[in-house]
Amino acid sequence: MSDVIVLNENNYTEITSSGVVVVDFYADWCGPCKMMAPIIDEAKETYEGKAVFAKIDVDESKSIALQNKVMSIPTLFFFKDGVVADRVSGVIDKGTLYAKLDALV
């Protein structure tokens, strides 16, 4: 099983530029973000080889959060070949996450 990639200003563009990439904008202190973590972990296993999962700490990489107009967390961005194909804020269930991924892979 592959680990979730930690994004920052140095690797954000490179990682999100090709394929299907799910980016989780989060913070360590965020309760709803902690609720999303096991759902994302399960999806990471289910979609291994089909999608890349990455996360970005909004406290450590404020400029990327601002650039993408992330106003609340958790926020998930769904990239396909470098373009934001979808985004969702707040906690979502497994079915919703899988449906969004199935539309992209």
CATH number of the domain at 91, please: 3.40.30.10
- Residue 3's pLDDT is 74
Q: Position 48: which residue type?
A: E
Respond yes or no: is residue 89 known to be catalytic.
Answer: no
Respond yes or no: is residue 33 known to be catalytic.
Answer: yes
pLDDT more than 90, % of the chain: 96
- Residue 25's pLDDT is 97
Query: Positive or negative, the Cα torsion across 39, 13, 99, 65?
Result: positive
Taking only the tens place, the pLDDT of each residue in 9-39 is: 999 999 999 999 999 999 999 999 999 999 9
- Number of compact structural domains in the chain: 1
For residue 102, pLDDT over 50 is answered with yes
Instruction: Give me the residue label for tokens 């601002």.
Output: 66
> Which one is catalytic: 33, 51, 70, 73?
33
Q: Which residues pair with 76 in a beta bridge?
A: 24, 88
Do 24 and 70 form a contact (C-beta atoms < 8 A)? no
Q: Print the domain residue range for 11.
A: 5-102
For residue 93, pLDDT over 70 is answered with yes
Closest alpha carbon to 53 in 38, 68, 73: 38
Please report which confidence band the pLDDT of residue 4 belongs to, taking 50, 70 and 90 as the band edges: confident
